[in-house]
Structure 1
Amino acid sequence: MTDDAIERARKRLEEAAEGRPDAAAVDAALERARAQVEELALAAAQLEATLPGKIDEALQDGLRAQVKPVGRNLAEIRGLSNQVIRRLERIEGDLLAERHARVDDLALLIDLITSGWKSVDERLGGLEKSLQSGESAIIYRIEERRAETG
């Protein structure tokens, strides 16, 4: 080995020794890391204790905000359906009254037709009686008249 190679090796060793941190700096860094880990553990414990409550509260707030309009819509739908039911009941009553009126009209029409036919029957009965009694005008049959003239 040459002196030059030995010199270069020593230089590298010195440079490596200079870049190495001293023990006090390492201990300080470890102490800071331990303190930060303890703070992190404490923060995790606090989150573990409070997070379920916060999540529950956030969910309730979110659901409340979403359900409130749904509740209003449901109440509006309920009111509208009650209004539709009342209108249908009124229409049903009107239809029933109209049906009864038509039945009454039909009964009146039947009475009028019946009385009309009774009147026609009485008049025909009177004509038949007068024809049978011979007090009526002379009736000539068309067939007999044709035979006499033809």
Structure 2
Amino acid sequence: MDEAAIARAKERIEQAANGRPSPGDVDAALERARAQVEALAELASQLESTLPGQVEDAVREGVRAEAAPVGRQLAEVRGLAGQTIRRLEGLEGDLLAERHARVDDLALLVDLISSGWKGVDQRLARLERKLEANGGATVYRMEERKAG
């Protein structure tokens, strides 16, 4: 074997041994890691105790912020529905009054027409009585009248 190759191999082994951490460095790193894990566990414990309350408050506030406009809109719709119902009831009352007025007008018209026909009937009855009392009437045909 070549002495240079052996020397290079020893040199690399030495460098690898020098690059290794010492047991003190490993212990210090482990101690830091333990401290950080303990701090993380403490923070997780704090979050575990406070996070549900914070989430609950955030959800409650979000629902309140979103539900308030919906409640106002619902109240507005109820008010408009009530107003519409009142207006429809008013229209229904007006329509009923108009219908009664038309029925009254029709009754008056029927009375006027029937009294008019009664008057015509009475006049015709008087004329018929007079004609019968005088012995009748002479009837002329229109064709004869035009010819003569």
Please indicate, yes or no, whether the TM-score normalized by the shorter chain is above 0.5.
yes
Q: Which amino acid letter does the alignment assign opposite residue 2 of structure 1?
A: D
The separation in 2 between residues aligned to 1:63 and 1:143, in whole angstroms, is 99
Aligned Cα root-mean-square deviation (Å)? 2.0
Partner SS for 2:138: coil
1:10-31: CA deviation from partner (whole Å, max 9, x where unpaired): 1011111111111111111111
In the alignment, which residue of structure 2 is the partner of 1:140?
A: 139
Q: How does 1:1-150 map to 2 (within 5 A)?
A: 1-134=1-134, 138-142=137-141, 145=144
**Deviation above 2 Å: which 4+ runs of structure 1?**
138-141, 143-146
Post-superposition offset of 1:145: 4.5
1:87-131: CA deviation from partner (whole Å, max 9, x where unpaired): 001001100110110111011011101100100000000010011
The separation in 2 between residues aligned to 1:76 and 1:144, in whole angstroms, is 84
Q: Which amino acid letter does the alignment assign opposite residue 124 of structure 2?
A: L
What is the TM-score of this pair, normalised by structure 1? 0.90
The separation in 2 between residues aligned to 1:17 and 1:143, in whole angstroms, is 155
Q: Which amino acid letter does the alignment assign opposite residue 141 of structure 1?
A: Y
- List runs of 5+ in structure 2 lacking aligned partners: none
The separation in 1 between residues aligned to 2:123 and 2:99, in whole angstroms, is 36
What is the TM-score of this pair, normalised by structure 2? 0.91
Sequence identity (%): 61
The separation in 2 between residues aligned to 1:143 and 1:17, in whole angstroms, is 155
Q: Which amino acid letter does the alignment assign opposite residue 141 of structure 2?
A: I
The separation in 2 between residues aligned to 1:143 and 1:31, in whole angstroms, is 143
Aligned length: 147
Post-superposition offset of 1:139: 2.4
